[in-house]
Amino acid sequence: NHHYHGHHIVLLPFLAHGHLRPFLALARQIKHSSKAVTVTIAATALNLQYLRHSTDSSDDILFAELPFSDHQNTENLPVSRILDLCHGSVSLQSPFRKLIQDITAEEGRAPLCIISDVFFGWAIDVAESLGTLNFTFTTCGAYGTMAYISLWLHLPHRETDSDEFALPGFPERCRLRRDQLHRFLRSADGDDPWSRFIRPQISFSLKSHGWLCNTVEEIEPLGLEILRNHVQRPVWSIGASSLKNNTYSGKEVGISSKKCVEWLDEQKPESVVYVSFGSQNTIGSSQMMELAKGLGKSGRPFVWVVRPPLGFDMKGEFRSEWLPDGFEERMSETKQGLIVRNWAPQLEILSHKSTAVFLSHCGWNSILESLSRGVPIVAWPLGAEQVYNSKMLREEMGVSLELAWGFESRVDEEEVKKVVDLAMDGKGKGGEMRKNASLFKELIKDANVRKEGKLKGSSVKALDDFLSYVLEKSKQVLKPN
Ligand code: UDP
């Protein structure tokens, strides 16, 4: 432990909620592993608000503000403006450089390393010029990260006319269909605005000294193998330790945890479908209508986090006209459905014994949270790497069924009912999914056991190994001050 005394590690997360949480978890893990290391998270004002509210002094994590003039309201930025945020984020480079210089001046030596988000590949430049090391942290899973990298760097769908194509670096069986690609990617030619942001950032990140991945060694053997082959650097999977403490979200909370739990308490064990599309997404209005009808028709209890559909102000009032006539009243009277506005206590819901399946957009945090509670998934991936996550859940892990994908796919009520029924069928597919999910629950739990010796879980051990590696590497690479 004393080896780390006086050493400083600076974390640089991407500016979205789904990235902040894993970075915060990483900061905590570093402090757990060695209290002697100073850890600073650098972020913009709005994101710092979230981070500060989610920590207390016992965490002993420092924060540094990076001024960001372009997009103050970053966390609540509509998905349509994420590209602006991406391009704007590159401007953080100069305040970040100044931060590292200030730390160096104050402490008489450069930080031990910078751990930057995969989308902030530019950090390597800062690290190299200021005499420190740079590691990349991907907040997604290994398989999803790698599919994303492979697609954006190789654009394999442009090399073929066929509808199906192989993913470079993946086994032949992991094929994708053109219609599974996000429209930005489908139309990307390498010189479009998305490519111009993503491709260089990923390429820079691939030059860092090593990667940390927010996953668990035992749950993603394939994803990690492919990622390691591609990165050709050490990859430590350190995932999923602090999957709790999401009390402050910076979002308007639609229901108290207490009320939500009371509602769940009244339901039968393993009977409830929990429906949510993450921190920043919503679905189309006709999709919403069909989903409502299908859930109603299934006759199964559900908790559904609703937001105004696409095309409306996501932060605006939710109007009853977006749901079938009298739907909300009916669901409330019969106690079949709890419709929550905007934000629900997801971890409490997933941890409750009444919850049976999670109808999810397959954001990686949601997946880890669900699997760590042994809850199988009905997938409706929307954007980012979610389609690939869904593919892995289905094909490699056997914990999910896919209901729909994207904002455009036609969803009908019968299909919703059918898929939900299948997922809830304890004797058939549903039972198998649940059994597999409970295996992953154990693996995730074991990976995070923090005891000395043999009992140390793989994620805990990986973080210890990472810290030793950084210390050694810094002796070899960095000039002594
Ligand atoms: N979340 C929540 N309540 C909600 C919606 C989301 O607590 O109503 C949390 C959820 O527990 C998860 C995060 O927000 O930790 C969503 O992250 P994910 O990676 O699943 O999706 P993203 O928001 O990045 O698309």
Profile the chain (481 residues) by mean pLDDT over runs of 10 residues: 80 91 94 94 92 91 86 54 82 95 96 97 97 97 97 96 95 94 92 95 97 97 98 95 57 86 98 96 97 98 97 93 97 97 95 98 96 98 95 98 93 97 96 98 94 84 96 81 49
Q: Is 261 exposed, middle or buried (0-12, 13-18, 19+ CB in 10 A)?
A: middle
Query: Which of ligand 1's atoms lies nearest the C-alpha of 280?
Result: 23
Query: Which of ligand 1's atoms lies nearest the C-alpha of 249?
Result: 7
Q: 323: Cβ–Cβ under 8 A, 6 or more apart, which residues?
A: 288, 289, 292, 306, 339
Query: Which of ligand 1's atoms lies nearest the C-alpha of 364?
Result: 19
At which residue do the structure tokens 């100069």 appear? 94
Q: What is the pLDDT of residues 223-281, one digit of tens each?
A: 999 999 999 999 999 998 665 555 555 567 888 999 999 999 999 999 999 999 998 89
Q: 453: Cβ–Cβ under 8 A, 6 or more apart, which residues?
A: none
**pLDDT (0 to 100) of residue 448:** 93
Query: Which of ligand 1's atoms lies nearest the C-alpha of 384?
Result: 25
Give, using CA atoms, the residue closest to atom 2 of ligand 1: 346
Give, using CA atoms, the residue closest to atom 23 of ligand 1: 279
Q: Which of 364, 366, 389 to mutate to test the pocket of ligand 1 (most atoms within 8 A of CB)?
A: 366
CA distance 380 to 404: 5
Q: Within its chain, how far is the Cα of 338 from the centroid?
A: 25
CA distance 310 to 281: 9
Distance 189 CA to ligand 1 centre (A): 31
**pLDDT (0 to 100) of residue 69:** 62
Give pairs for 90-97: CB < 8 Å, separation 24+. Answer: 90/122, 90/197, 92/44, 92/66, 92/68, 92/120, 93/122, 93/125, 93/126, 95/66, 95/67, 96/12, 96/42, 96/66, 96/123, 96/126, 97/126, 97/129, 97/130
- What are residue 306's DSSP bridge partners? 341
Q: Do residues 338 and 304 touch, judged by C-beta distance below 8 A?
A: yes
Q: Which of 279, 351, 359, 389 to mutate to test the pocket of ligand 1 (most atoms within 8 A of CB)?
A: 279
Distance 350 CA to ligand 1 centre (A): 12
CA distance 167 to 385: 14
Q: Which of 74, 346, 350, 369 to mutate to test the pocket of ligand 1 (most atoms within 8 A of CB)?
A: 346
Query: Which of ligand 1's atoms lies nearest the C-alpha of 21?
Result: 15
Q: What are phi and psi of 188, to 5 degrees?
A: -65, 140
Distance 187 CA to ligand 1 centre (A): 28
**pLDDT (0 to 100) of residue 78:** 60
CA distance 5 to 88: 36
Token output for 12: 């640089």
CA distance 367 to 470: 30
Give, using CA atoms, the residue closest to atom 16 of ligand 1: 278
Q: Is 265 left (phi over 0), alpha (psi -120 to 50) or beta?
A: alpha
Distance 218 CA to ligand 1 centre (A): 23
Q: Do residues 207 and 385 touch, judged by C-beta distance below 8 A?
A: no
Query: Which of ligand 1's atoms lies nearest the C-alpha of 347?
Result: 11
Query: Which of ligand 1's atoms lies nearest the C-alpha of 362?
Result: 20
Distance 359 CA to ligand 1 centre (A): 13
Question: Could you give the C-alpha distances from 153 to 19, 86, 191, 359, 390, in angstroms and in order?
Answer: 21, 17, 12, 31, 21
Percent of the chain beyond pLDDT 70?
93
Residue list, ligand 1 pocket, CB within 6 Å: 17-18, 21, 246, 249, 276, 278-281, 305, 343-344, 346-347, 363-366, 369
Give, using CA atoms, the residue closest to atom 8 of ligand 1: 343
Q: Do residues 338 and 263 touch, judged by C-beta distance below 8 A?
A: yes
Token output for 42: 């650098």
pTM of the entire predicted model? 0.94
Distance 141 CA to ligand 1 centre (A): 15
Distance 365 CA to ligand 1 centre (A): 6
Distance 379 CA to ligand 1 centre (A): 15
At which residue do the structure tokens 């372009």 appear? 70
> What are the helix (H) ranges across 299-385?
327-333, 346-351, 364-371
Q: What is the pLDDT of residues 331-361, one digit of tens each?
A: 999 999 999 999 999 999 999 999 999 999 9
Query: Which of ligand 1's atoms lies nearest the C-alpha of 139?
Result: 19
Q: Which of 245, 364, 365 to mutate to test the pocket of ligand 1 (most atoms within 8 A of CB)?
A: 365
